[in-house]
Structure 1
Amino acid sequence: MSLPFNMPAGLTPEAQRELERWDEDRQALIVQIKAIPLRILVWGPSSASPSPAAIKRVQIRDALVAEGFLAVFSEIWADAASGLSQKTNELTQALTAHLIIILIEGSPGALAEMHDFSSREDIARKMLVMCPRKYSDGYSIKGAGAILNVAFGNLDLYQDGEIENCNVLTRALARAIALREAAAYRELRSTVH
């Protein structure tokens, strides 16, 4: 096996083989980490909308799926909770998700979801609310958004143009990857006995 780094000369054959096994163990853990399929809700404008935020919502979901996450729109369960209100149906989704990415630009529904669930700490800490900076002076950002930002650091205000140039997607993906790595710290065990 050829290792991706150089070791100083003088390793015994046994030490060289152990180094190769060590690197194989490490690589196997990397594969395990990248295979942790966190449950991610992506809330925002309807995917049928031609708006930049709606297009970005689809791109975020697709990028997350490509990285091995289980990323969905809540619409997949729109009719799955007979006898329950939409709010309660979405509560069940939020309580069972690891991460909730919310794009509120142009989405009254996503804005309502932010308000509905930001007062629940168990859900609010899982949210990443992505919002145009131009909304900063509005009630939603000064109210629920301020609580989310100060208490949990999960309000992402973006500048005009950032939704189109992939900065928003990049930050959403970075949050998911960081949560996956945090999950790995809880789940992985030593391979050395």
Structure 2
Amino acid sequence: MTEQPIRYGMVIDLRKCVGCNACTVSCKIENNVPDGKYRTWVKEIEKGTYPEVSRHRLPRLCNHCDNAPCKSACPVRATYRTEDGTILIDYERCIGCKYCMAACPYDARFVNPVRKTAEKCTFCYHRVQMGLLPACVTTCVGGARIFGDLNDPDSLVSRLIANNPVQVLKPEMNTRPMIYYIGAEQALLGADYTDLAKGEK
């Protein structure tokens, strides 16, 4: 039997997320993300009316989609997929046209004001290539972020997906995202997500 190639992905278990934003801070430090910009962030969404109010957390990042609209939208082919499925940007090719930003249904990209190119989460690819975990995973105090090989049935990410109801953002877009959520509010996953979570990231 032919061994399947590695396919990296992430499970975010919202039952464990405490909204501490350690993931956001560690990502900014590890990747030298400019002030006011974020590769990963945690949306706090309030639902209901007083006194029946609840708050919900939704950590966000690039979904590293199998059917990535950002990749097909790039006119200079600066956005590409690695052999392990990670979506990356070739900063030498990127012209900062923002087509990829417009194509991404998850609002996961921004223009780096220093480099003048598109930027986003890379799963800390430089760390993963050295056998390390993404910075956001290592600093998650609740253990809510789990990263690994989705093609390995024995990996923790695969076992979590197999044994829990999981959700993805905007499934109706058919982008086949590789970020899976456990315990997400259904209303936050579909087309109405943008209306519920407006604001600067």
Q: Which TM-score bucket, shorter chain as reference?
A: under 0.3
Larger Rg: 1
Which one has a larger percent helix, Structure 1 or Structure 2?
1
TM-score, structure 1 normalization: 0.27
TM-score, structure 2 normalization: 0.26
Which one has more relative contact order, counting CA pairs under 8 Å at least 6 apart?
2
